[in-house]
Chains A and B, each alone.
Chain A
Amino acid sequence: MEFRPILSTLRRHKTTSWLLILEIALTCAIVCNAVFMVGHRLQHMHMTSGIDEHALVLIQLAEIAPTPDIYARAREDLAVLRQLPGVQAVALTNFLPMEGRESNSGLKLDPAQRERTLSAASYFGEDLPQTMGARLVAGRDLAPDEFVNADVVVKELANGGTKGLPAVTVITQALADRLWPGQNPLGKTIYVTDRLGVRVVGVLADLARGNAYNDATAHYSMILPVFMGAGKDWSYVIRTRPQDRETVLGAAVAALKKADPERVATRQRTYDELREKFFSNDRAMAGILVGVIVALLTVTALGIVGLASFWVAQRRRTIGVRRALGATRGDILRYFQTENFLLATFGIVLGMALAYGINVFLMTHYELPRLPGIYLPVGALALWVIGQLSVLGPALRAAAVPPVVATRSV
């Protein structure tokens, strides 16, 4: 197929051709970036938590009158929960992976260091790896006799002492790799404050942080041997069989209220619900982006159909003449397909540059990573295919124009 006659025809419809090229370029640019953002969101939404998500239920309780001894209260609660049928393990934690809130600590490798090396999420609670199902890949879990009550830590740090402070920690593989790349982390010391140094005794395969917003730092977590005691913001974590979750949750709330009626259950949910909520905005945004992609491609496709229909109608006589001079139906069909291919190609080339420009803007304003090159050919392919499909109907109609049209006057 020769391009020259097509180009010379298009030159006679310069404005219209340019408008179509512009539309394809804009669509291509937006679709490339939108597809990339959808991928980015989906990837974020599939972040691993490192725990056995479907086996956990969570309860938060708030006291009505001040509890005299929050530590005794929490120990009794945990004992009560352990007795319940269907309960495999229980723990008390200050937050959960992807809860949307966390405690964190600025970590130093040397107490004299001026600036923190990084900030890591700090879990406080006994039996956390075992209850949540976080896998230990090296060393051991924290032992019960290593735990310290939270108020002791607060008071000792405030007084400037070091007596009775936590001495050991369990950290994630991601944190170990970041702090000591290629080295064995066991036995190394991390400083949480200049007086509070903890020795690494165990490494977890994974345990996401509570504020797991940034994919790069989402797995920097550590567990410190601090016992929180009963409190409104802390969660009882109960491990059970997935099919028993609802039953166990109901029974656990009832048992906890019976153990101390002077409180209200402010939250009771499965871990799956917690995770669902954490990513609800990303899910909504991904949905909106997909909607926009579909709408854009539809509008552009309909635009191509509309314009091609016009051109076919306008050129009926010319087509008739060509047919009369010996052009086959295939020739006419190919002519319109090629014309659209040319326009789409111009649009796509322009669109690529625009896509890159939009990405640079998004990178500076929305902390989005660079658009990987792979998205450009994907966007190009999508528009070529849509262009060819859209123009097929009008082109077939053009091919059906009988040669006799050439002999008719308007």
Chain B
Amino acid sequence: MFGYYFELALRRLQRNKALTALMVLAIALGIGTSMTTLTVLHVLSSDPLPGRSGSLYYPQLDARDDSGTMPGKEPPEQHTLIDGLNLLHAKRADRQALMTGGSVPVQPDAATIDPFYVEARYTTADFFAMFGAPLRYGHGWDAADDEAKAHDVVISSELNERLFGGANSVGRTLRVADTLFRVVGVLGDWAPSPHFYDLNTGSYGYAEQVFIPLQAALDLHLQHEGSNECWGNGTGGVGRIYPSPTCVWLQFWVQLDTPAKAADYREFLIHYSEQQKALGRFVKAPNVRLRNLMQWLAYQQVVPDDVRLQTGLAFGFLLVCLVNTVGLMLAKFLRGAGELGVRRALGASKQALFTQLLVESSVVGLVGGVGGLLLALLGLWMVRHRPSDYASLAHLDTTMLLTTFLVAVGASLLAGLLPAWRACQIPPALQLKSN
């Protein structure tokens, strides 16, 4: 029976080629655009560290004075050096890392390679273990190296490829900003996106090439990059002078394995703020936050507004395309009412007619859906060739492939149900009479 309906559907659709093409094209365009934008949205708002993000938290303190702030306002998004080091040394979390961004000149030994600048991260020992950064060779440094201001460096696999031809370079030396560093580790492929731990560098498509112990970097006055916010008589620093003590410019992340530990840590932050207020460093009442990774990304509104807007626009377009197809399908079914009447009169049940019409509309929907999938692939290819910083991320994964398929089937059923139902409502006698 189903095969017969299918054949019937194809025959009826062929009778009106232009119209069928129009309906298929409308559905394909609608699904293509909405899946392209939804995929971009999905990729941009995805979890950069699946499995780990739940236990990673970003504590915030409010060290600012009264000037320029209003009560109840959110605390600053970064930390002063003093508070960062205090929290780091308190070791109240399972793991913790203090960090900031930078950029450094690398001077290769080989005379054939000119010196070049790379993005750097100045951080502390727990960074690699806490974020689950895989090391291809060697290992990170430890807390003692941090305090000793050790000239250790972990390099990215890309830099290792460029400088050492991809060999195990652990133990080799690297001249950075006129200082000799010892390579202790080489990262595997690791570039979390969004660049959650420091969004000041740009949220997407950013990856550091060298990781240097924070204290060593500060000691050497390596170039700092990122944003800073100051109050009082603080200044953002210039040249080799870092931002003032009344400026926030470092990020601090902690790993807290259980909700109870998170609650304890929040208490600790409040206690710390009170203590600092007693010492006269803080002037405001404790104003702390402890957001986990995904909450932090949501708070920072890391997904560009334009991407959300495009998704909304595309679904609006899909809706218009669907309404358009429903209208055309309905007109088509009603126009063919005479034929349906004949079938009814010959004994076909209402349900059989309904099924037949639904098969017909589903064929249109499915062909449109497949077309939409192809258009989505084309759309994503176009997004990848746009100059935005997230361009390279726009790929269809299995979740989105499945979603596309479901949307296509859903859309086709939606487009078919109403016309099929409506066309079956007319009594057979009337259907025969028309025309």
Q: Does the CB pair A26–B177 fall under 8 Å? A: no
Pick from A22, A114, A154, A317: contact of B323, CB under 8 Å? A22
B351 at the interface (CB under 8 A from A): no
CB-defined contacts of B117 to chain A, threshold 8 Å? 62, 232, 264, 266
A window 105-137: CB within 8 A of B: 106, 114-116
B355 at the interface (CB under 8 A from A): no
Q: Does the CB pair A314–B335 fall under 8 Å? A: yes
A window 301-317: CB within 8 A of B: 302-303, 306-307, 309-311, 313-314, 317
B window 225-239: CB within 8 A of A: 225, 232-239
B157 at the interface (CB under 8 A from A): no
Given A23-B323, A30-B316, A66-B240, verify A284-B334 contact (CB < 8 Å): no
Q: Does the CB pair A66–B178 fall under 8 Å? A: yes
Q: Does the CB pair B323–A151 fall under 8 Å? A: no
A183 at the interface (CB under 8 A from B): no
> Chain B: which residue is nearest A65 at the CB level?
B178
B window 293-324: CB within 8 A of A: 304-306, 308-310, 313-314, 316-317, 319-321, 323-324
Q: Does the CB pair A30–B313 fall under 8 Å? A: yes
CB-defined contacts of B239 to chain A, threshold 8 Å? 70, 150-151, 229, 231
CB-defined contacts of A157 to chain B, threshold 8 Å? 233-235, 244
> Chain B: which residue is nearest A282 at the CB level?
B306
CB-defined contacts of A79 to chain B, threshold 8 Å? none
Q: Roughly how many angstroms separate A314 CA and B434 CA in the complex, as a whole number?
A: 9
Per-position 1/0 for B391-418, Cβ under 8 A of A: 0000000000000000000000000001
Instruction: Please report the total number of B residues contacting A with Cβ < 8 Å.
Output: 62
Q: Does the CB pair B68–A106 fall under 8 Å? A: yes
B332 at the interface (CB under 8 A from A): yes
A window 274-320: CB within 8 A of B: 280-281, 284-285, 288-289, 292, 295-296, 299-300, 302-303, 306-307, 309-311, 313-314, 317
B168 at the interface (CB under 8 A from A): no
| Residue of A26, A37, A153 with highest tally of chain B CB at under 10 A | A26
Given A264-B117, A306-B19, A310-B335, verify A19-B330 contact (CB < 8 Å): yes
- Please give the distance in Å from A15's CB to the nearest CB on chain B: 6
A64 at the interface (CB under 8 A from B): yes
Q: Roughly how many angstroms separate A153 CA and B236 CA in the complex, as a whole number?
A: 11
A194 at the interface (CB under 8 A from B): yes
Given A114-B67, A310-B335, verify A15-B244 contact (CB < 8 Å): no
Q: Does the CB pair A284–B323 fall under 8 Å? A: no
Pick from A65, A160, A295, A410: contact of B435, CB under 8 Å? A410
Pick from B237, B331, B422: contact of A307, CB under 8 Å? B331
CB-defined contacts of A289 to chain B, threshold 8 Å? 313
Q: Roughly how many angstroms separate A70 CA and B313 CA in the complex, as a whole number?
A: 51
Q: Roughly how many angstroms separate A15 CA and B305 CA in the complex, as a whole number?
A: 37
> Chain B: which residue is nearest A106 at the CB level?
B68
Q: Roughly how many angstroms separate A102 CA and B215 CA in the complex, as a whole number?
A: 27
B70 at the interface (CB under 8 A from A): yes
- Please give the distance in Å from B96's CB to the nearest CB on chain A: 28
A76 at the interface (CB under 8 A from B): no
Pick from B178, B244, B388: contact of A158, CB under 8 Å? B244
A376 at the interface (CB under 8 A from B): no
Q: Roughly how many angstroms separate A63 CA and B327 CA in the complex, as a whole number?
A: 67
Q: Roughly how many angstroms separate A260 CA and B316 CA in the complex, as a whole number?
A: 58
B residues sitting closer than 8 Å to A (CB atoms) are: 19, 22, 26, 29, 33, 66-70, 103, 105, 107, 114-117, 177-178, 221, 223, 225, 232-241, 244, 304-306, 308-310, 313-314, 316-317, 319-321, 323-324, 326-328, 330-332, 334-335, 386-388, 418, 422, 435
- The 4 A-B residue pairs with the shortest CB-CB distance, nearest first, are A19-B327, A303-B324, A65-B178, A310-B331
Q: List 8 A-B contacts (CB under 8 A).
A: A16-B331, A30-B316, A66-B221, A103-B236, A158-B235, A193-B232, A264-B116, A303-B328
